[in-house]
C-alpha cells in the first residue's frame, strides 16, 4: 500500500511512502538479571549524569534478540485487553491538535481519554488520568521512544502511584479491582518508523518479568524488565493513524493481563522517512462493582432430580454464595440455554457467573472456590486437615476419579426400569450412543447393589477418625464430603423411586421401594451412616442461599449488565501454564475453531467455538454463532480432564 503521509512536508520528504505491512522480524532489547542476584536498579533523574561516587549507573545487562512480530492490522477484533493485555480502538477524534502545551493537553485531551475508557473498558466505573508523555524521534526532544522491552508498572509502583495521586481515597480504591492502562496514539500518523511492539500477555510468564528499581536522589520508583522467552508472541499495528488507539494494560490488581512493550526498528523503514511522534497517557480504572452496585449474578441451570446439580447446590450452600436456580428440562432440547448463551452442550448443570459460563461440575467447583475465596469470608471447599496438612489435590482426585465416575456409574445403575421406558430413556440412549434395554437394566439392579456394597466397604474406614467427622480429617466439610454425600443421597432417592417424576418430566410416577437400604444402613456401615446423618444435619442448619426460578428476564438483564471479571475469569489458577509446544503440535492455538466434547458420553454432540484461551486443565471458547444470535455474548469454560478439545478438521481422529 502506498500513501503520502501528513508529515512528509514537515520532514522534507516528498516521495510517496509505502507503509510497511504484515509480519516482520526485528531485534528487540531484553533484560538480563544481575549475575550477583542483587536487586536490579538504574540511576535516574540527576543521578543519571551525576551518579554518587563509586555507584554504577545500573547493575544489570541488556541483550538483543531477533523476534518475529505479527501485524494485527485487519484482525483488530481478535485482541482483548483482558486476555491479551492490549486492545484497539479506531475512529477516535480529538480536539487537541498540537500536543505542545501540557496544560492545554490536560484541559482538552484528558477528558477525552477518560471518556474513551469509560465507554470502552467493560465494567469501568471511575477513571483517573495520572499523567502523559509525549515522545518524538528527534535528538532535541525531551523524551524519545523507549527501545527496550519493559512494563511501565509493577505491583509496588502501581500501588504507590494510586496512593500518590488519590490521597485519602487510595485505600478504598485498592480494595476493589484497579487497573493501570496506557492509552497510546501517534501524533503524526501513519506511523512508518519506530512502531510500537507489544507481547501477548499470556506468552510471557511471570518469572520472565523482573522489577527494576529506578533510583532518584529523593525517591525510588519501579518498572519491570522483560527477559527473552522463545514463547513470546509479539505484535504491532502497521501504519497506525491519528484516530487509532492502542490500550496497553500495565497493571491489574486481580492478577490480570500485563503488557510487555517496546519501540522497534522496522528493517523496512527508510532513513528519510518521518520519525514517530506519539503520546501515551496513564490512567487508573476502577472496574469492580462500587458499593451498592450489583456484582455479577451467579446462576445455576439444572433440575431437581439431577445428581450433579445436587453436587453444586451443596457447594453453593456450604460456601454461602447467593444464587438463582433456573429449572431447565431433564432432556434436550433446552431452548433457554441455547437462546441465551448459544449453548448446545447436553449435560447439566451449567453455571453462569455473569458472562462466564462453566460446564461440568469439576470446573464449576473450582470457579466457585476461586471467585468466592476464603479470604473474602466464604467457606472453603478445601479446608486443611486437623494436623495442618493440605489435602486439596487428593480431594480433587477423590471427587473426580472416584465419586464422579465409578460411584456414579453404580448409583445410576439403581434407576428403576420404569424410567428407561420413557422419553428420558430415549434421550439418554441418544446421549450414550446406544439403545437402552429396560428389561436388561432391571435385571442388573441386584448386581449394581452388590457393587455399591463394595464401594461402601472401601469408604467405611475413611470415617473411623475420632478427631473430626469429616473425610481426610478436614476441619470442616470439604468437596470430598460433598461428593460422597450427593451420590449416596441421590442414589438412595432414585433407588427408592422418589425422583422418577421429576427425572422423566412427568412421564413416570414416583414409587416407594426398599431401594438401597439393604446395603446402605447404620447396622452394616455404622461409621459411614453416622457421617451421612451428621453431614445432612450440617447442611440443614445452614441458611439457604438459593432463589428458585425467579423472573428470568430480570436475571438476563443482570447478566447483560455484568462487568468483565478480567483475565482472572478466563483461566483458573494452575501450577503451570499451557504447554505451548504440545498445543502447537495438536493445533490448539488461540483463534482456532475447535470442538469440545466429553470423552465418555455425549461425543456425538460436541460444542463448537473459537478457542480463546487454554491451560493444562481448562479450555475457554466463544461459542460458534447459531442460526439465531444469542442474547448474551459469553465465554464458555470446559475442563480438559474428561473432555477432548480438537480443531474441527481433526474432530474425528
CA distance 47 to 241: 37
CA distance 176 to 560: 21
SS3 string, 361-382, reads HHHHHHHHHHHCCHHHCCCCCC
What distances in angstroms separate CA 364 from CA 8, 352, 618, one per listed residue?
57, 9, 11
CA distance 309 to 490: 10
Minimal CA–CA distance to 190: which of 278, 84, 300, 58? 278
- Asked if 257 contacts 83 with a C-beta cutoff of 8 angstroms, the reply is yes
**Residues 6+ positions from 9 with CB-CB distance below 8 Å:** none
Q: Which domains does the chain have, with CATH numbers?
A: 2-286 (2.60.120), 298-557 (1.20.1050.130)
CA distance 59 to 210: 13
Query: What is the pLDDT at residue 563?
Result: 67
Distance of CA 333 to the CA centre of its chain: 28
Per-residue pLDDT tens for 529-556? 999 999 999 999 999 999 999 999 999 9
CA distance 85 to 207: 17
pTM assigned to the model: 0.64
Query: What is the pLDDT at residue 579?
Result: 78
Per-residue pLDDT tens for 488-536? 999 999 999 999 999 989 888 888 887 888 999 999 999 999 999 999 9
**Residues 6+ positions from 582 with CB-CB distance below 8 Å:** none
Query: What is the pLDDT at residue 651?
Result: 55
pLDDT-flagged residues of the chain (< 50): 1-14, 288-293, 567-569, 653
- Asked if 356 contacts 295 with a C-beta cutoff of 8 angstroms, the reply is no
Tell me the helices (H) and strands (E) count for the chain, helix number first.
19, 26
Q: Kindly give the pairing relationship between strand 635-639 and strand 643-647.
A: unpaired
CA distance 195 to 202: 22
Cell 488507539, residue? Answer: 245
Element (H, E) at 184: strand 178-186
CA distance 444 to 432: 18
- Half-sphere exposure of 169 toward its Cβ, with a 13 Å CA cutoff? 10
Per-residue pLDDT tens for 177-228? 788 899 999 999 899 999 999 999 988 988 899 999 999 999 999 999 999 9
Query: What is the pLDDT at residue 378?
Result: 93
| Range list of β-strands (E), 579-653 | 593-598, 607-614, 618-623, 635-639, 643-647
Query: What is the pLDDT at residue 564?
Result: 57
Amino acid at each position: 500500500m502506498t500513501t503520502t503521509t501528513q508529515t512528509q512536508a514537515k520532514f522534507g520528504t516528498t516521495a510517496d511512502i509505502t507503509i510497511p505491512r504484515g509480519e516482520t522480524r526485528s531485534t528487540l532489547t531484553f533484560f538480563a538479571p544481575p549475575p550477583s542476584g542483587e536487586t536490579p536498579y538504574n540511576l535516574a533523574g540527576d543521578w543519571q549524569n551525576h551518579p554518587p561516587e563509586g555507584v554504577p549507573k545500573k547493575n544489570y545487562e541488556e541483550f538483543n534478540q531477533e523476534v518475529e512480530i505479527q501485524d494485527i492490522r485487519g484482525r483488530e477484533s481478535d485482541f482483548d485487553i483482558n486476555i491479551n493485555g492490549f486492545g484497539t480502538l479506531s475512529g477516535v477524534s480529538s480536539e487537541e491538535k498540537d500536543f505542545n502545551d501540557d496544560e492545554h493537553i490536560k484541559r482538552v485531551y484528558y477528558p477525552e481519554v477518560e471518556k474513551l475508557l469509560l465507554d470502552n473498558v467493560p465494567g469501568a466505573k471511575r477513571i483517573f488520568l495520572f499523567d502523559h508523555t509525549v515522545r518524538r524521534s528527534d535528538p532535541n526532544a525531551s523524551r524519545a521512544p523507549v527501545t527496550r522491552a519493559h512494563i511501565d508498572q509493577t505491583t509496588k509502583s502501581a500501588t504507590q502511584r494510586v496512593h500518590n495521586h488519590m490521597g485519602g481515597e487510595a485505600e478504598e480504591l485498592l480494595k476493589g479491582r484497579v487497573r493501570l492502562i496506557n492509552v497510546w496514539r501517534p501524533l503524526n500518523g501513519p506511523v512508518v518508523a519506530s512502531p510500537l511492539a507489544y507481547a501477548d500477555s499470556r506468552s510471557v510468564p511471570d518469572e520472565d518479568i523482573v522489577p527494576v528499581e529506578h533510583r532518584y536522589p529523593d525517591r525510588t520508583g519501579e518498572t519491570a524488565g522483560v527477559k527473552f522467552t522463545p514463547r513470546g508472541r509479539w505484535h504491532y499495528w502497521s501504519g497506525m493513524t491519528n484516530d487509532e488507539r492502542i490500550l496497553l494494560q500495565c497493571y491489574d490488581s486481580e492478577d490480570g493481563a500485563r503488557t510487555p512493550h517496546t519501540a522497534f526498528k522496522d528493517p523496512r523503514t527508510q532513513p528519510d522517512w518521518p520519525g514517530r511522534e506519539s503520546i501515551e497517557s496513564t490512567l487508573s480504572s476502577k472496574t469492580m462493582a462500587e458499593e451498592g452496585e450489583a456484582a455479577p449474578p451467579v446462576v445455576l441451570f439444572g433440575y431437581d432430580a439431577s445428581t450433579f446439580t445436587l453436587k453444586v447446590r451443596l457447594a453453593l450452600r456450604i460456601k454461602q454464595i447467593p444464587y438463582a436456580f433456573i429449572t431447565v428440562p431433564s432432556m434436550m432440547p433446552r431452548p433457554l440455554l441455547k437462546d441465551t448463551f448459544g449453548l448446545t452442550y447436553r449435560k447439566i448443570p451449567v453455571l453462569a457467573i455473569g458472562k462466564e459460563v462453566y460446564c461440568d461440575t469439576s470446573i464449576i467447583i473450582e470457579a466457585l472456590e476461586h471467585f468466592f475465596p476464603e479470604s473474602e469470608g466464604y467457606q472453603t471447599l478445601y479446608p486443611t486437615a486437623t494436623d495442618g496438612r493440605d489435602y486439596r489435590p487428593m480431594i480433587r482426585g477423590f471427587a473426580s476419579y472416584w465419586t464422579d465416575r465409578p460411584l456414579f456409574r453404580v448409583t445410576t445403575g439403581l434407576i428403576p426400569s420404569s424410567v428407561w421406558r420413557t422419553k428420558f430413556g430415549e434421550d439418554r440412549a441418544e446421549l450414550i450412543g446406544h439403545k437402552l434395554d429396560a428389561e436388561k437394566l432391571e435385571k442388573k439392579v441386584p448386581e449394581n447393589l452388590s457393587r455399591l456394597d463394595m464401594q461402601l466397604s472401601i469408604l467405611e474406614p475413611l470415617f473411623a477418625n475420632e478427631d473430626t467427622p469429616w473425610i481426610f480429617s478436614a476441619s470442616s466439610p470439604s468437596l470430598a464430603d460433598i461428593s460422597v454425600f450427593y451420590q449416596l443421597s441421590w442414589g438412595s432417592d432414585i433407588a427408592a423411586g422418589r425422583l422418577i417424576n421429576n427425572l422423566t418430566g412427568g412421564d413416570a410416577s414416583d414409587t416407594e421401594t426398599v431401594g438401597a437400604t439393604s446395603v446402605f444402613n447404620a447396622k452394616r456401615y455404622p461409621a459411614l451412616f453416622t457421617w451421612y446423618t451428621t453431614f445432612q444435619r450440617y447442611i440443614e442448619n445452614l441458611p439457604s442461599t438459593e432463589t428458585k426460578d425467579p423472573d428470568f428476564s430480570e436475571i438476563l438483564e443482570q447478566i447483560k449488565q455484568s462487568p468483565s471479571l478480567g483475565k482472572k475469569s478466563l483461566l483458573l489458577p494452575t501450577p503451570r501454564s499451557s504447554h505451548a509446544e504440545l498445543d502447537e503440535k495438536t493445533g490448539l492455538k488461540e483463534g482456532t475453531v475447535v470442538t469440545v466434547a466429553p470423552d465418555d458420553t455425549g461425543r456425538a454432540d460436541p460444542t463448537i467455538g473459537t478457542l480463546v484461551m487454554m491451560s493444562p486443565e481448562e479450555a475457554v471458547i466463544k461459542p460458534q454463532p447459531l442460526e439465531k444470535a444469542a442474547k448474551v455474548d459469553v465465554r464458555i469454560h470446559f475442563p480438559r480432564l474428561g473432555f477432548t478439545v480438537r480443531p474441527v478438521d481433526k474432530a474425528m481422529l
